[in-house]
Amino acid sequence: MADGTEQKSSNQMWGGRFASGPSAIMEEINASIGFDKKLYAQDIRGSIAHATMLAAKGIISGEDKDKIIHGLNTIQSEIEAGSFQFSRKLEDIHMNIEARLADLIGPAAGRLHTARSRNDQVALDFRLWVKEELQKTEAMLTALITAFLDRAEEHADTVMPGFTHLQTAQPVTFGHHCMAYVEMFGRDRARVRHAIEHMDESPIGAAALAGTGYPIDRHMTAKALGFREPTRNSIDTVSDRDFALEFLSIASICATHLSRLAEEIVIWSTPQFGFIRLSDAFSTGSSIMPQKKNPDAAELVRAKTGRINGSLIALLTIMKGLPLAYSKDMQEDKEQVFDSAESLELAIAAMTGMVRDLDVRADKMREAAGSGYSTATDLADWLVREAGLPFRDAHHATGHAVAMAEQKGCDLADLSLEELQSINPAITSGIFDVLSVEASVASRTSFGGTAPSEVRKQIAWWRAKN
């Protein structure tokens, strides 16, 4: 049997302008239902708000509104039960729902689209979805920050080496290192909150691009949908995807932070470092090497960053050459955001689990903290503070002390007072109060420093804020 029924249905959405249905190739490139069906709940929610407003303004009858809302709720139940039949012939989520609504309630379904276009409809659906995803991301980042605060409090006194250029620089505490990530993910959460505030405007009612002559109430629909207010320019409304770009930008920055953390976990879990052990829940073994315990979860988080960054570049490239207002190119926006949202959620969840489960090997960290003459800066600072040397002279004298310790194969703290005084006679026995790693970290009491007392202050501040 010829597929005339489906072709007629397809032609109805195009109207009388087209005498025949799109070719198979056109159908393939044009259909978006394969991915935008993810927006079904937002589409139905927006349609219920729109129908309620139309009835309140006397544009449709109360009876039609009730039929429409009942039909839409039925469709949502069908979709969530898995019994709804999505059709590629109907292009997108909007037309799939509208066609099923017509089956359920008859001619009243056709009144739902009064005073709106698929242009403002998709802008609404997508904006609602991104807003909800940002709210979910905010909650997940809060959980990750809490996990770091717990570990920081547990290890406020645990000494470890601090690095620059991945070379031992100065001793710090593991708690202080954890708090660095609290700051990073705190900034990510602040960006999420700002983006929610920034995009908190309702697009519905902008119609195709020029607004509508119907006496609609856009403030009513904005309030019903949880937006602060309606958008203020109908052309910009249907052509704007800044909210999607902001989401991808935030996701890319956050994923970069996650990737840096993942890299440290990979390094720290090697036998050469041995700072941490990953739990079995976030590790895998080797198919031929029984001794291996691979940090696959961290490695995959690191890899997700490239995928998320690629989505940002893709959407920026899609949008960069589009004239106002709507262009079909913008159909390519959703897959990038959907994929990045899924990747980011998974990465944050995995990292939160890893941070909570980490077995911190304080003994290995303490051993490494004293390597590489990490208290050399403390020696230079003591010469400035106690002996009155200019810092450059103190730096030069400290270099001599490091060279002497290297020659003797010992740490700075193991040099005798006589040996140190041969470098500079102003050195006294008080120097040994700063040459241990514990004394070094305890002395760094400047605001935001690594001293355990200061770390605990920052933890308390973040707990109050979190």
Catalytic site positions: 165, 286
Task: Report the alpha-carbon distance of residue 128 to residue 14 in Å, rounded.
Answer: 27
Task: Report the alpha-carbon distance of residue 334 to residue 456 in Å, rounded.
Answer: 43
Q: Say if CB 84 and CB 99 are below 8 A apart.
A: no
Tokens 């983006």, residue located: 195
Widest CA span in the chain? 104
Compute the C-alpha angle 187/193/197, nearest 5°.
140
The strand pair at 167-173 and 159-164 is best described as: antiparallel
Dihedrals φ, ψ of 196, to 5°?
A: -60, -45
Q: Say if CB 171 and CB 370 are below 8 A apart.
A: yes
Task: Report the alpha-carbon distance of residue 257 to residue 240 in Å, rounded.
Answer: 28
Task: Report residue 156 as tokens.
Answer: 């406020």
Burial of 17 (0-12, 13-18, 19+ CB in 10 A): exposed
Q: How distant, in Å, are the alpha carbons of 183, 325, 435 from that of 430?
A: 36, 73, 10
Task: Report the alpha-carbon distance of residue 151 to residue 370 in Å, rounded.
Answer: 22
CB atoms within 10 A of CB 77: 11
Residues 6+ apart with CB under 8 A from 326: 119, 208, 209, 238, 239
